[in-house]
Amino acid sequence: MNLTIARITARGLFGRRRFLLLLPLPVLLVGLALLSSWLGARPDEWTPPVVIGLGFGVVLPVMALIVGTGVLGSEIDDGTVVHILAKPLPRREIVFAKLAVAVLVTALTVGVPLFLAGLVTGLPRFAVGLVAGALVGAVAYTALFLALSLVTRRPVLVGLVYVLVWEDLLSNLLSGTRVLSIQQYVIAVADKVAPTDLLQGNVSLGVSLVMASIITVAGTVLAIDRLRSFSVAGETS
């Protein structure tokens, strides 16, 4: 992995204000879990809306969206990507470094609050399951969103449509769409690692892992190919 690119990417990511705007989301997740428990709600009452609805349904994909599209997309937007591309580096090295930073940051910012929320249920194994799900989700989502930032000029919008319309809306209405939903793979993995009544996986673990791998590899390969053909528009002055 190219540490120079990873370092610049991480510094760029933490230096942007929009990243700070996202910190309230994980805080909200832990806060709601604590509040529900404090108010005396049973875990089976608050876990579905807080952990599944907010944690896996919003916090994980939205964090992955901001980070995944930000690691390369923001450099494309402001033109600084040219400095990295005008180097004799295989493009896969650049994509791997960016992806590694994105996965790490997403896994940390989502995994930690999910773990804490899991602990509130009093089931440590459940907390570990949530972290495992978050890890799989962080990898698949960021690979998908990183590729989106090279395919479209509006990666955040397209990503939001995928998360909100495809995963949150259609997956609840049409069971067939669940096979193409990263959120469902995340739930399946968490459920397998910590089988409880709190999570109901709709897709088998095998299908989840295979599909998550396909999305990750396809997204990465697509990103590398698009970066090889990266064009700077002839902005003649």
Partner 1 sequence: MSLVELKGVSRWYGNVVAVNDVTMTLGPGVTGLLGPNGAGKTTVLHMMAGFLAPSRGTVTVDGQSTWRNPSVYKGLGLVSEREAVHGFLSGWDFVLASARLHRLPDPAAAARKAIDLVEMADAQHRRLATYSKGMRQRTRVAAALVHDPAVLLLDEPFNGMDPRQRLHMMDLLHAMGEQGRTVLFSSHILEEVEQVSGTVQVIVAGRLAASGDYRTIRRLMTHRPHVFSIRSNDDRRLAVALVGEPSVSGVDLSTVDGLTVRASDYGTFTRVLPKIARAEKIRVERLLPADESLESVFSYLVAS
Q: Residue numbers of the site for partner 1 (CB under 8 A)?
A: 2, 4-5, 8, 11-12, 15, 78-80, 82-91, 228-237
Q: Hey, what are 12's tokens? A: 């760029």
Q: Rounded to an integer, what distance in angstroms lies between the CA atom of residue 130 and that of residue 97?
A: 26
Helices and strands of the chain, counted as H and E runs: 12, 0
Nearer to partner 1, 207 or 226 (CB): 226
Residue type, 208: S
The rounded radius of gyration (Å) of the Cα atoms in the chain is: 18
Nearest approach in angstroms of CB 127 to partner 1 is: 35
Nearest approach in angstroms of CB 232 to partner 1 is: 4
Nearest approach in angstroms of CB 234 to partner 1 is: 3
Nearer to partner 1, 166 or 230 (CB): 230
Nearer to partner 1, 91 or 177 (CB): 91
Nearer to partner 1, 5 or 67 (CB): 5
Comparing CA positions, the residue from 73, 71, 54, 70 lying closest to residue 163 is: 54
Nearer to partner 1, 4 or 204 (CB): 4
Nearest approach in angstroms of CB 36 to partner 1 is: 39
DSSP string, 152-218: -S-HHHHHHIIIIIIIIIIHHH-GGGGGG-HHHHHHHHHHHHS--SS---SS-HHHHHHHHHHHHHH
Nearest approach in angstroms of CB 63 to partner 1 is: 21
